[in-house]
Amino acid sequence: MKKQFLALMLAAGAAMGTAQAEDVLHIYNWNNYIAPETVKHFEADCKCKVVQDYYGAMEEMLAKLAAGAKGYDIVVPTGFALPPLIKQGLVQPLDKSKIPNLKNMNPAFMNSQFDKGNVYSVPYAFTTTLIGYNDKKIKELGIDPTSWSAIFDPKVLEKIKGKVTVLDDPKELFAAAMMYNGFNPNSTDINQWQKAKDTIIKAKPYWAAFNNQSYIKELTVGNIWLAHGYSNDMFQANTDAHTAKRPFNIAYTLQKEGNTLSVDNMMVMKGAPRPDLAFKFINFMLDGKNSSELTNMIGSGNPNAAAAQFVSPDIKKINAVFPTADNMKKLYQLNSLEGKPLRDLNRLWTEVKTAR
């Protein structure tokens, strides 16, 4: 009898442990892309636990999910990664009746070419690719940072030779050169790409480096004065400069010719163990105050119109974080490339990198 009672108690305990373990939301996300206090607030609100797994690139995320990785409830992909996830049947349509806070979204960020009607996705945050700069040096030299001429015009670059870096990324650098020449960055016209290549090669001798990794630090310590990079990184560089009490700021702004935009989106996995928690989380993150916490932490662009009132005034006035209607007309989400256009870009990139 005692043995039966003990067995029943152990079984009950195991069942309770299983039930508790199941009150877990699994998110597959970029690193450092949810404010810690936001996670704590959601866990208290849903009486559950949030477990995050991280990726460093979209290709890594897509490959892992395509290979059959399971157990995730939510994934946060960039725009161009949405179509393959949808096509492969890896995500489920959103139950919008469970996301009343969708009303808070800025319409300008909805209904993208990657998911018409937002059937599967809702925007979470965004970055823009732009120019960040040492405000003191660039003002002294009379350079206009609101134009891509700051990294492409040899007459301008003569003033800052060796103090400029650009992204070591063919899509982003060619997009900037395309916009500088008045072309749509999503064009695959080979003649336009040739002109963009020529623009890059003429400017290349004035650049210190192609740099994806250390331009935040180089800006912060004053080794470079102007960088082509991501808005979140420029926010971090300015924060670091203030912390180090540098005698300058790292400012950043959109360019008048246009900029590229990378929108990250929340999607619910088709095999989500807890779709109920997934929809609760999405709705929670679309609350204006909750959405603002990421922007205040890392300076991310915010597609949530209700978040503006909770964002620091200094951040709110940055057009890369809250673009105006006019700004939005010149923000482009880059399409994915495949086949001949991809081969053409790779060939032109090789010509750029080997040019002397």
Note down pLDDT in tens along the chain; length 356 residues.
444 444 444 444 444 444 444 799 999 998 888 888 999 999 999 999 999 999 888 889 999 999 999 999 999 999 989 999 999 999 999 999 999 999 999 999 999 999 999 999 999 999 999 999 999 999 999 999 999 999 999 999 999 999 999 999 999 999 999 999 999 999 999 999 999 999 999 999 999 999 988 999 999 999 999 999 999 999 999 999 999 999 999 999 999 999 999 999 999 999 999 999 999 999 999 999 999 999 999 899 999 999 999 999 989 889 888 888 899 999 999 998 889 999 999 999 999 999 98
pLDDT reported for residue 32: 81
Would you tell me how many other CB atoms lie within 10 Å of the CB of residue 183? 20
Name the token pair of 127: 């970055």
The pLDDT assigned to 337 comes to 84
For residue 131, give the DSSP letter.
E
Residue 42's contacts (CB-CB under 8 Å, 6 or more residues apart) are 25, 48, 50, 280, 281, 284, 290
| pLDDT for residue 39 | 94
> Distance (Å, rounded) from C-alpha 55 to C-alpha 350?
27
Strand-pairing partners, residue 271, are: none
- At residue 20, the pLDDT reads 40
The answer on whether 36 is annotated among ligand-binding residues is: no
Angle between helical axes of 288-298 and 36-46 (0-180°, round to 10): 160
* C-alpha distances in Å from residue 346, one per residue of 84, 172, 278, 334: 22, 13, 39, 16
Q: pTM for the complete prediction?
A: 0.84
Angle of CA points 182, 188, 191, to nearest 5°: 65
**Other C-beta atoms within 10 Å of 207: how many?**
22
End-to-end CA distance of the chain: 87
Consult the annotation and say whether 341 binds a ligand: no
100 is in an annotated binding site: no
- Distances 110 to 23, 90, 280, 291 between C-alpha atoms, Å: 31, 21, 20, 16
Question: Is 170 among the annotated ligand-binding positions?
Answer: yes
Measure the CA–CA gap between 30 and 232, rounded to whole angstroms: 13
Cβ neighbours around 150 below 10 Å, total: 22
Confirm if 291 and 306 have CB atoms less than 8 A apart.
yes
Q: Are strands 259-269 and 331-332 parallel, antiparallel or unpaired?
A: parallel
Helix (H) or strand (E) holding 75: strand 74-75
Q: What is the pLDDT of residue 212?
A: 87
**Which residue blocks in the chain are alpha helix, DSSP H?**
2-22, 36-46, 58-66, 82-87, 135-141, 149-152, 154-157, 170-180, 190-203, 215-221, 231-243, 275-285, 288-298, 313-316, 325-328, 339-354
Q: Which domains does the chain have, with CATH numbers?
A: 2-126+263-323 (3.40.190.10), 127-260+334-354 (3.40.190.10)
78's CB contacts (< 8 A; 6+ apart) are: 58, 262, 263, 264, 265
